[in-house]
Amino acid sequence: MSHPLLQPIVAPSILSADFANLAKECQQVLEAGADWLHVDIMDGNFVDNLTIGPPVVKSLRKHIPSAYFDCHLMVKDPFKWVKVFSQAGASGYTFHLEAVEPNPNNWSKTSPRVTSLCEDIRYHGMKVGISIKPDTPWQALESYISADLVDVVLIMTVQPGFGGQKFIPETVSKVASLRKRFPKLNIEVDGGIAPDTIQQVAKAGANIAVAGSAIFGSDDRQRVISILKETLKASN
Ligand SMILES: O=C(CO)[C@@H](O)[C@H](O)COP(=O)(O)O
């Protein structure tokens, strides 16, 4: 039952939207062709920034009942928020491997904590995502994907914490290795994704692109979304 989503998807990161007009901004990018809304949840602990919490997702869900809210939890304790985000209306719940298993020496093993978190997310009716930072090897995810515990893998192409950073090209080889190993896996990339960087990640095998500043900072959001989508389509 995993990987039912595999298709080109563009997910604007609402972190770069005008928060005072958030519902309108979300509706506008969806009308401009976006597939998902990417919601960056930061707790000022796992990363040095504080952003959106469950009440915001709940309000947005009320205004936009049909949207796919792709929630990216950059938080120290992702176990704590599963139920509350599910009740708020999150569609996908992506946590960081490094938050659950901070010791790199354990990344070659299967962590029962990671397994049980994946199961809990599914139990609460959300798609399961695991994210890794730029320096974390893709192999750390291998056993969870093989065990069919994961719907989406989120490869950070910048250090998590802030929008508007420069894309890290060294992350592209991780996408390529994952695609080679798992031809049907949903691979999402996030950070510095724009019309001038999408080509390399799409060619490497990413099928889901998150973009914040490139979309919300543009005068022609529809055009940016279309370039990202067409580039993903051409490579998938
Ligand atoms: O998760 C994060 C940052 O931690 C991202 O979702 C960024 O918010 C994407 O923003 P851009 O790099 O596209 O501006």
| Domains detected in the chain | 9-235 (3.20.20.70)
State residue 5's pLDDT score.
60
If you measure from the C-alpha of residue 21 to the centroid of ligand 1, how many angstroms do you get, rounded to a whole number?
A: 19
Determine the atom of ligand 1 nearest the C-alpha atom of 191: 12
Among the options 43, 70, 151, 190, which is catalytic? 190
Contact 126, 103 (CB under 8 A): no
Q: How far apart are CA 153 and CA 7, in angstroms?
A: 14
Q: How close is the Cα of 229 to the center of ligand 1, in Å?
A: 18
Place of tokens 């070659």: 108
Tokens at 67, concatenated: 């949207």
Question: Is any ligand 1 atom within 6 A of the Cβ of residue 15?
Answer: yes
- CA of 163 relative to ligand 1 center, distance in Å: 4
Find all residues with CB under 8 Å of 66, minimum gap 6, and list them. none
For the CA atoms of the chain, what is the radius of gyration? 16
The pLDDT of residue 6 is: 77
Enter the ipTM: 0.98
Q: What's the rounded Cα separation, in Å, for the pair 144 and 101?
A: 13
Please check whether residue 169 is in contact with residue 191, taking contact to mean a CB–CB distance below 8 angstroms. Answer: no
12 lines ligand 1 (CB under 6 A): no
- Output the tens digit of pLDDT for each of the chain's 236 residues: 344 467 999 999 999 999 999 999 999 999 999 999 999 999 999 999 999 999 999 999 999 999 999 999 999 999 999 999 999 999 999 999 999 999 999 999 999 999 999 999 999 999 999 999 999 999 999 999 999 999 999 999 999 999 999 999 999 999 999 999 999 999 999 999 999 999 999 999 999 999 999 999 999 999 999 999 999 999 87
- pLDDT on residue 3: 40
Q: Which of 18, 35, 40, 135 is catalytic?
A: 40
Q: Is 163 within any annotated ligand binding site?
A: yes
Q: Annotation-wise, does 212 bind a ligand?
A: yes
Q: Would you call 35 a catalytic residue per the annotation?
A: no
Q: For residue 168, how far is its CA from the centre of ligand 1 (angstroms)?
A: 12
pTM value is 0.97
E strand intervals along the chain: 9-12, 37-42, 69-74, 92-96, 127-132, 152-156, 186-190, 208-211
CA distance 147 to 210: 26
Cα separation, 139 vs 118, in Å, equals: 17
Is position 190 annotated as part of the catalytic site?
yes
Half-sphere exposure of 47 (CA within 13 A, CB side): 21
Q: Is 17 in the pocket of ligand 1 (CB under 6 A)?
A: no
Q: What is the DSSP code string of 104-133?
A: GGGTTS--HHHHHHHHHHHHTT-EEEEEE-
User: What pLDDT was estimated at residue 201?
Assistant: 98
Q: What is the pLDDT of residue 2?
A: 40
Cβ(236) to ligand 1 under 6 A?
no
